Amino acid sequence: MFLLVLGRIQAVIDDRQGGIYARPERIRAIDHVGAHYSVAGPLNLPRSPQGRPVLVQAGSYLASAGAVDTRLTWGGLRTLFGGEGLFLLDGRDLPMRAGDLLVAPEGIAHGIRNTGHGRLLVLAILAPAPAS
């Protein structure tokens, strides 16, 4: 996320008629070194209309964990590739199994609970609401 925000809001002007995409003096390297990745940056993509990128994330939920992944933000689609469980949507528990497509709007409480014996495999496509 920081690659999209730091130093880019004022740097990118996208003047197509003038042939200028960005002000070079306002672009700076991120120079992040962390436990899991390192990057010099900056990211050379335009800012999305939402202000945040669309994310695609694969995940799995263990049967023995008993935990529920619940959230109010980052609405989107979830596709199940394996397993079975419950899709928690706005106070309702909806059965789900491999092949189901789940839709959760941003701002509505939603989550996933694995009720099967094996892993519950999920591919999530998450998109924030457009910036107002």
- Per-residue pLDDT of 11-59, as tens digits, reads 777 788 988 878 878 777 777 788 877 877 766 666 666 666 677 787 8
| Residue ranges of domains in the chain, CATH in brackets | 2-39 (no CATH), 55-126 (2.60.120.10)
Q: Are strands 84-89 and 92-97 parallel, antiparallel or unpaired?
A: antiparallel
E strands, the chain, are: 12-15, 20-22, 32-33, 38-39, 55-61, 68-71, 76-82, 84-89, 92-97, 101-104, 110-114, 120-126
Task: Report the predicted TM-score, pTM, of the whole model to 2 decimal places.
Answer: 0.56
Write down the pLDDT at residue 49: 65
